[in-house]
Structure 1
Amino acid sequence: MLWRLRKAKTFFRVSLVLNIVIVVYICINRSTSRSTISELSARDLPYLGRKELPSTQVERRVVTTPPLRSNTSTPTDIIERPKPKTQPPKCYKRFLLFGLRQHWFEFCSFEEFSQYKYLISFPRVLHCPIVDCYVILSYSLEAKDIPGNDVVLFTDVYQWLTPEMWDWAYGNRTEGQSWVMITEESPLYGPGVQPPNKYADNVFDFIDSYKTDSDFVHPYGYYKVYQGQAPTKFDTAALLASKSKFLAWMGSHCETLQWNRQLFVDDIGGVVRIDKYGKCGDTEIPWNNFQALKEILTPYKFYLSLENSCCEDYVTEKFWRTLELGLVPIVVGAPYDHYLKVAPPHSFIHPDQFDSLEEMALHLVQVNANQEKYLEYFKWKNMGELVSHGQEEHYVRPLTNQTQCDILEKHVKLTDIPHKKRDFFGQEWYGSCVQCGTKPWMQKYMLDRNSARANKDIWA
């Protein structure tokens, strides 16, 4: 019994010694393995599955890749390729929106126009891929912020820029800086961007407007002829079924600058029946509620589409909206031949087609009584389509990325192309506003530019 106990103790001691030896051996091997991996030379690295090495100028670290989806796959130690450093942009230009009207910030904050809210976030950085350049767009009311910018934008500044502020702004202009006027209004309704006479022909490098001879042309709409057969035939029966009323007009600004629009409406109302809406009429309609406009105006056959100014190419959303709603517009605004260039064929009625107001009114009565004659004003619907934008889209267009990129493209080419500054009071801009029609009977409605007004606000 004693012999067996001694034998067991001896066996236990031998086993303990062997276990200690094994543990020490394993620890030594692991240490050697780690040092071997960390001391691998460049010529040894391909054996770890790497065919290319990262730059020796950057720190490298060892990582373990996840196992492949295979029964024989095992994790493999590799050296991670470092990410390339971000290169600074090769080209960037600074744009400044100078004197932006406060109403713009309110408009873009309305819930129904929330998609435009990002446009009033300044400064904003945007990329223009055509010229591969970045624009840093800022906003300021201070003339002292004009230096250091490549482009200064004047748009929707209303009556904020006084002659004194023009002096401050012009005094801060730097060499090589482009000044751009952006407007969808007629020259008569843009006093905020109208410079003093002493700067008139030496201010704006570019004009962005509705005019076809502008540097950047943005019409309110145009007519596009179908390339082939019309997608669907226009339903004339449905059109006639929707018509139960004669003539309508909606006006929000009752006192115009160039011509007496209100008197024109009153004179027509003395010959034929007319229903008046808006601030100048009997029933108010929200200007930005297209559905409300549609419900009220669709039953009418004719609509007075009367612009606040009679200027070349000035055909606004009033005209395109009337066509879209399915009414025949009686127009006063751009010259007759300008309407012929942009409007669908035989889609409107212009005073230059008649020798008197009474003759024009008689034509309306005759067309109203003859379905065949009335439908002739809608034949264009089977030949083409309208391309136009909503009023709010025109309102925010000066802020959009596309507008900035278009301007940038012109600006970077200034050094290569001979360029003459625009004359604000020249024939191309202010001088493009002339008579409201060529017929003598229309001269009755023209106003002297110095005529007295009941309200000093031009938008009254």
Structure 2
Amino acid sequence: MTFKIRNILQTIWSFRIKKLITFLIIFGVIFSLLQIYLFLDDDNDEEDDDDEDDGNRNIPKDTAVILWWTPFGTENKIRKCEKHSCYFTNNRVYKNHSNLKGVLFYASNLKIYDLPIPRGVDVRWALLHEESPRNCLFLTNYDALSLFNYSSTFSRYSDVPLTLMYLTNIKHLTDTKYYRSVEEKNKLIDQGLASVVYIQSNCDTVNDRDSYISELMKYIKIDSYGSCLNNKKLPDNLKYNYIDNLDSHEFKMFVGQYKFTLAFENAVCHDYISEKLWRPLVVGSVPIYYGSPSFKDWLPNNHSAISVNDFSGPKQLAEFINYLSINDDQYKEYLSHKLLKNSIKNSKIINKFIKKSEIIFYDYVKLFECSVCEKLYDNKYQTLNIDHYNCPKPKSIFNNNTVLKNWWIDSWNYEKCLAKLMHKYVLNNSSINYDKFNNDKQKC
């Protein structure tokens, strides 16, 4: 009898212990979830504070407000730069704040009918743009540029130049991860691969580059994979959305098979050098380049790329490519940055990466914000001139003295008129009526 009672008590006790353990586990899970919820809720509250900012934040009187008029790179917070602190925001309610000292614009989103005017006497304007001017041609004119006081563009003359933006790390130039030896490339050519590759899907360009390449194809074999002048299909692993994967390992390995890459920019601007030049240099394919007249100033060394402008026409260029393709020693001279140690001789590249080994676009944006912040406090500013966005009127790729006759030229002339309108509106310093703007631009 005693034995049975003991067993019953042990069973009851065991059951209670299990219930207690189960309860503690459930309680622990609920408590953890509650903590996570409260943490996220706090974050959301902070975000809501930013969104609901009514312009009455407790900003110190000696802290400059810098407004992103075209929302781009800001946290709606006070940030310490080198010597000074500024409050960066994209909330337009700060347009009339007593501390407003600077207004930042991202050029692609800048609308002439939507400007922060009237403009305060001591309010400086700053322009950021890393792309070609195809969607903001009015900025290629002095009338528009002269309204700004600071710039971060592809020009070396900018406050924060973006000329080397597409080269994120100097080691990429010497790394042999994607490099194929000349012997490997020769075997691939024997198997049917062309010596030259062209991959482009933007066929409507300011400089009419496809006309030149179409002529070049008459004299040399070119594998063209994009929408423009297409004559070959991409491999299965690249054919879908390859434009979104231009920086992928697979795409770089693919381009690295070719001895040469046609690297034609979609616009001709001084110092505007896109990934079209840097990608082949990184993978070890010699760029055949057309674009920035000053691009040689930025090459790893004096023998890194072939300039289209060094030849009188496509036929002469094709003859030189064919010569290099069958003369390995001469071809290798263009790959010294991959084959030889200490072969990067360009001080512009070397000095750029002394302080930081890798620089991405986000870093440039932050540098520009702080550059403007510091210069506002020091009362340093300028009136931008054409050097900050030097994109001459489009000319024929066949003959730089012949002006093209296409809708791009019409657009260029039209945007020149818009630049004058913009200048007039800002100087008048009165709000722009959208209907009046539409009427005025019809006269251009």
The bucket for the TM-score relative to the shorter chain is: 0.5 to 0.7
The aligned residue for residue 170 of structure 1 is: 117
1:421 and 2:366 correspond: no
Alignment of 1:37-436 (within 5 A): 91-100=62-71, 122-128=75-81, 130-133=82-85, 135-140=86-91, 142=92, 145-148=94-97, 149-158=100-109, 161=111, 163-166=112-115, 169-171=116-118, 173-191=119-137, 194=139, 200=144, 202-220=146-164, 239-243=181-185, 244=188, 245=193, 246-257=195-206, 259-280=207-228, 281=230, 282-283=233-234, 284=239, 285-288=242-245, 289-335=247-293, 338-344=294-300, 345-381=302-338, 382=340, 383-385=342-344, 395-397=361-363, 400-414=365-379, 417=380, 419-423=381-385, 426=386, 429-430=389-390, 432=392, 435=395
* Contact 1:123-1:136 at 8 Å conserved across structures: yes
Structure-2 change in CA distance of 1:298 and 1:153 (3 Å) = same
TM-aligned CA deviation for residue 431 of structure 1: 5.3
Instruction: State the Cα distance separating 1:127 from its structure 2 match.
Output: 1.2
CA distance in 2, matches of 1:220, 1:450: 27
Checking the alignment, whether the CA contact within 8 Å between 2:176 and 2:283 is kept in structure 1 is no
Distance in 1 between residues matched to 2:329 and 2:316, nearest whole Å? 20
| Counterpart secondary structure, 1:170 | coil
On the 8 A contact 2:261/2:285 being kept in 1, the answer is yes
**Corresponding letter in the other structure for 2:150:** F
Amino acid at match of 2:181: L
Which string of whole-angstrom CA distances, capped at 9 and with x for unpartnered residues, describes residues 247-276 of structure 1?
11121321012x101222222222211112
| 2:33 matched residue in structure 1 | none
Compared with structure 1, are the counterparts of its residues 334 and 237 closer, same or farther at alpha carbon in structure 2 (3 Å cutoff)? Answer: closer
Instruction: Work out the CA distance in 2 between the residues paired with 1:235 and 1:182.
Output: 33
Deviations 1:8-58 (A, max 9, x none): xxxxxxxxxxxxxxxxxxxxxxxxxxxxxxxxxxxxxxxxxxxxxxxxxxx
Q: Which has the higher helix share?
A: 2
- SS of 2:155's equivalent in the other structure is coil
| CA RMSD, 1 decimal | 3.9
CA contact (8 A) 1:249 1:304 kept: yes
- For 2:396 and 2:296, how far apart are their aligned partners in 1? 16
In structure 2, stretches of 5+ residues that fail to align are 1-58, 412-444
Deviation digits for residues 324-363 of structure 1, max 9, x if unmatched? 010000000011xx23321121111112222221011011
Determine if contact 1:311/1:434 at 8 Å carries over to the other structure.
no
Whose radius of gyration is greater, 1 or 2? 1
Q: Distance in 2 between matches of 1:238 and 1:137?
A: 47
Residues 1:260 and 1:443: Cα distance change in structure 2 (over 3 Å): farther
CA distance in 1, matches of 2:366, 2:141: 30
Listed one character per residue, the Cα deviations across residues 364-392 of structure 1 (whole Å, up to 9, x for unaligned) are 11111111111011124423346799xx9
Contact 2:159 2:371 (8 Å CA) reproduced = no
**CA separation in 2, counterparts of 1:181 and 1:401?**
14
Distance change >3 Å, CA 430–CA 290, structure 1 → 2: same
How far, CA to CA, are the matches of 2:306 and 2:329 in structure 1? 16
- Secondary structure of 2:306's match? coil
Task: Give the number of equivalent residue pairs.
Answer: 320
Q: Secondary structure at the match of 2:96?
A: coil
8 Å contact from structure 1 (residues 91, 132) kept in 2: no
Equivalent position SS for 1:255: coil
Q: Distance in 1 between matches of 2:155 and 2:90?
A: 26
Q: For 2:179 and 2:383, locate their aligned partners in 1 and report how far apart those are by CA, in whole Å.
A: 54
Q: Write the deviation string for residues 198-225 of structure 1: whole angstroms up to 9, x where unpaired.
A: x6365201111121122322212699xx
- 1:447/1:376 Cα in 2 relative to 1: closer, same or farther (>3 Å)? farther
**Structure-1-length-normalised TM-score:** 0.60
What do the CA deviations read for 1:389-434 (whole angstroms, capped 9, x no partner)?
9xx9765456x433311221222222xx5x54224xx465355566
Contact kept? 2:267, 2:291, Cα under 8 Å: yes
The 1-side partners of 2:323 and 2:361 are apart by: 39
Cα distance 1:420–1:124, how it changes in 2: closer, same or farther (>3 A)? closer
> Following TM superposition, by how much is the alpha carbon of 1:131 offset from its aligned partner in structure 2, in angstroms?
1.3
Distance in 1 (CA, whole Å) between partners of 2:262 and 2:102 is: 40
